[in-house]
Structure 1
C-alpha cells in the first residue's frame, strides 16, 4: 500500500518544503489541481527536478483534450496523470492510449460516477481507479457503506482511496479488509498537522503493519 501526498492550495515553494519534511514516509507526490492551475504544467517539472526518485502524479482532472493534456503531463515528468470517470469514454480511451505509449500510469477519478459507468470503465484494465469516500455516510454506518461500494468496485484491479483519510479510518479498513486499496491519498491529515513529519511517520508505520 502506497502513500500519495496531496499538495493543494499552496505555492510551489511551500509544497517543496512539505515534501522535504516527509520525504522518507511517502511514495507518490501529487501535484494537485490547484498547483497546476496556478503555476501551469511547469509545477510538475519542478517537482520532478526536485525529487527525481519519487513517483509524481499530475492531478489534471482531464475532461477534454485528453491526448494533449496527458502527453504534456508525461513530458513534464509525471508518472501518473488523472482523468475524470464521467469524461466521455472516447476521451478516456485517448488518455489510456497515451499512458500505454509513454509506459506511464493513468488514474481514473470515480467522483460522481454511477455503477453503469464504472462497468464501462472496467475495460481499462491497467488503470488505477480512485474512489472518493463520503465522510458523512461513513460516520453513519462504516461497514455497510463499504460493503455496498464493494459490489461495484470488486472487479477493479487497482484501487486508490481519497477523501478525508485519517488514521482511524485506515485502522477500520485494515480490520475489516472490505476493500484493499493499493494507494491511499492523504492531504490535510499530513499537510495541516502541527508536526507533519510525525503525522506522516504514523501513517507510514500503519501501512507497514497492514502489509504484514
Structure 2
C-alpha cells in the first residue's frame, strides 16, 4: 500500500514566522496533534507536536519557559523525517517504530503535500487485517515450503468462501512452520476447519487462541 492512499492531504501547516500562540490556537481549532512548520514555498522546516506546545504554556507555578509570542521555530523539532506519496506504508511503519515518532510529513517536489500520523497507521493496520468486516478468523499451522499457500487457499475456493485478509508469520516454537491467520467472509467457519483438518493442517480458532 502506498503512502498517498492513507495520508491526510492537504495538510494543515503553520508558517515559520508564526508564533507559538498561533500554533496553539490552530491545533486547538483543528483538533490536531502535529503541525509541520513550513516556509513560503511549503518546504518543511520543522514540526511541532501538542507536547511541544503544552511545554511552552504557563505552568501552575506561573513560570513560562518560552514566551507564547515567540516564533514557532523556538520549539519545533528540526531534521524532520519525511516521506514521499509513493513510498510504501510498510517502509515508513519501520520509521515510526524505530524513531518513536508520532507523525511523518509527506513531501513531493520539495513541498509538503500531506501528513501521516500514528492514527493513520493504526487505521491502515485495521483495514489490512479486515477486523472491521464481519466474518470469522482461524489460524492455520503450515509447513514452510513453497506453494503451501495455494494449497490452503484452494480449500476456501472449493467451499466458495471469500478471504478478507491473510497474515503470515513464523512459528516461534517450530522453525519449520509458519502460522497463517485467515479472516474469511463467513460466520460459519466449521466446513473450512473440517476440510483443513482433513488435509492434515492444525487449525486454531479464537477460542483456542483465547482471543
Pair in the same fold by TM > 0.5: no
Which has the bigger relative contact order, CA under 8 A and spacing at least 6? 1
Between structure 1 and structure 2, the one with the greater Rg is 2
Q: Which TM class, normalised by the smaller chain length?
A: under 0.3
Structure 1-normalised TM-score? 0.26
Query: Higher strand fraction: Structure 1 or Structure 2?
Result: 2
Please identify which structure carries the higher helix content.
1
TM-score, L = length of structure 2 = 0.26
